[in-house]
Amino acid sequence: MTISIAVPKEVAPGERRVALVPEVIQKLVKAGHAVRVEASAGALAGYPDEGYATAGATIVPDRSSLLRDAQVVVRVGPPTIEEIAATAPGTIVVALMNASRNLDRIARLRDQKLTSFALELLPRITRAQSMDVLSSQATVAGYRAALIGADHLPKFLPMLTTAAGTIRPSRVLVLGAGVAGLTAISTAHRLGAIVEGYDVRRAAGEQVRSLGAKFLELAINAEGSGGYARELTAEEKQKEQEMLAGAIAEADVVITTANVPGRRAPLLVRKEMVDRMRPGTVIVDLAAESGGNCELTKPDQVVEVHGVTILGPLNLPSQLAFHASLMFSKNLQAFLQLLVKPDGTLVTEFSDEILAASLLTKDGTVVHRPTADLMTGGK
Ligand code: NAD
């Protein structure tokens, strides 16, 4: 049995990534699956159609027929309303759905009776690590954040000893030492900066130090369930602010990556703290999409306040689309293995822990409880 997998071109503004790259498609084809790819789906990520054809994919110029004949549709971002309408009931759709912000599309997925999986809902368990697109894409974002910070700084990051004198290294402060933060720390460290990291989860301290950076210690441990952080109490927030204010005033680049799932991003860099920063310094706020870690961040904009540059870039993984797509593809390949039985047919009972957790809609129902509650406005 072969499974028919479709890869549409992403259509969200500014999106350059593609869900499957030729290297992974070659393996899927070898395993007996039929992979069909919309024409120029990978072009913006550096994967031309010829590479897909060589890997054994069929290039389909027309999106509607691509979707209509698919058993599984794989995407980076959620399908549009038109795409959902063009997809046959019962088809499996796998993507980063960003469900809480796309309730209209989730309603259409439900009404069209599509079986949809939201990759952001994958449980953060060891077995799911190879499928964890949040982690792989956060790695890309953290790397880009360090480069963007360096790019906007009118200084060198490393110490330099030259005939024109010795240049002191710049200081980079990374707030939030999860996947993105740790990659930002290691990248800034490799570029020669003096790096400090901070996170409310005490477990992050060891990881920060292992990358050659200093960990800012606060007598708080806010590790919640599933490896994520919990929200801080008002008193804890106050203590955090006092400690951070000093470190922020000393920094040349501040990279913020702090998030608490399902909530607005914590406000870590207040306006008064920015006032204390030196002209020429830079803030790169990776939490811009979830409200921002800096009070002055404007999503997708560059804000200048008395010489301090504040950037709130959105969709950084798209800026490194080649490797972001490759990593996304490998995650998808691992996820797809859960959907196919040893006899090559599709799984129909989603009892596996990973599938059960990420299942969003099925048979005309929104299966994921928190999303269903959001849609009905209930609790
Ligand atoms: P995230 O994007 O939700 O948050 C980023 C970081 O912000 C986290 O480290 C969080 O602790 C931190 N943070 C939240 N509030 C803060 C505050 N007020 N001040 C400072 N920092 C704050 O998290 P993420 O990077 O996706 O993952 C976090 C952790 O989850 C990882 O470091 C890892 O330990 C774990 N994880 C496990 C798996 C797995 O086992 N499959 C996969 C990925 C991540």
Average pLDDT of every residue of the chain = 95
Q: Which of 124, 190, 202, 230 is catalytic?
A: 124
Q: How far is the CA of 5 from the centre of ligand 1 (A)?
A: 32
Q: Please confirm, yes or no, whether 210 is among the known catalytic residues.
A: no
For ligand 1, say whether the CB of 199 is within 6 Å of any of its atoms: yes
Q: Where are the beta strands (DSSP E) in 102-189?
A: 115-118, 160-162, 165-167, 171-175
CA of 216: how far to CAs of 65, 69, 177, 219, 270, in Å?
Answer: 55, 54, 11, 10, 18
pLDDT at position 263: 84
Task: Write out pLDDT tens, residues 57-99.
Answer: 999 999 999 999 899 999 999 999 999 999 999 999 999 999 9
Task: Write out pLDDT tens, residues 158-180.
Answer: 999 999 999 999 999 999 999 99
pLDDT at position 235: 85
Q: Which spans in 154-233 are helix H?
A: 179-190, 204-210
Report the alpha-carbon distance of residue 158 to residue 153 in Å, rounded: 12
Mean pLDDT within 190-201? 95
For ligand 1, atom 4, which residue shows the shortest CA distance?
259
Q: Which of 65, 228, 270, 352 is catalytic?
A: 228
pTM: 0.94
For ligand 1, say whether the CB of 268 is within 6 Å of any of its atoms: yes
pLDDT at position 379: 47
The answer to whether 178 and 251 are in contact (CB under 8 A) is no
**50-54, 143-147, 222-226: range with lowest mean pLDDT:** 222-226
For ligand 1, atom 31, which residue shows the shortest CA distance?
178
Q: Which of 17, 112, 132, 198 is catalytic?
A: 132
Report the alpha-carbon distance of residue 87 to residue 8 in Å, rounded: 12
For ligand 1, say whether the CB of 233 is within 6 Å of any of its atoms: no
DSSP, res 269: B
For ligand 1, atom 10, which residue shows the shortest CA distance?
229
Pocket test for ligand 1, best of 134, 139, 199, 217 (most atoms within 8 A of CB): 199
Kindly give, in sequence order, each residue whose CB lies less than 8 Å from that of residue 337, ignoring residues fewer than 6 positions away: none
Report the alpha-carbon distance of residue 181 to residue 274 in Å, rounded: 20
| Residue % of the chain over a pLDDT of 70 | 98
Q: Please confirm, yes or no, whether 129 is among the known catalytic residues.
A: yes
Q: Which of 129, 210, 238, 337 is catalytic?
A: 129
Kindly give, in sequence order, each residue whose CB lies less than 8 Å from that of residue 300, ignoring residues fewer than 6 positions away: 288, 312, 313, 314
Q: How far is the CA of 337 from the centre of ligand 1 (A)?
A: 26
Task: Write out pLDDT tens, residues 31-40.
Answer: 999 999 999 9
Q: Please confirm, yes or no, whether 124 is among the known catalytic residues.
A: yes
Task: Write out pLDDT tens, residues 285-309.
Answer: 999 999 999 999 999 999 999 999 9
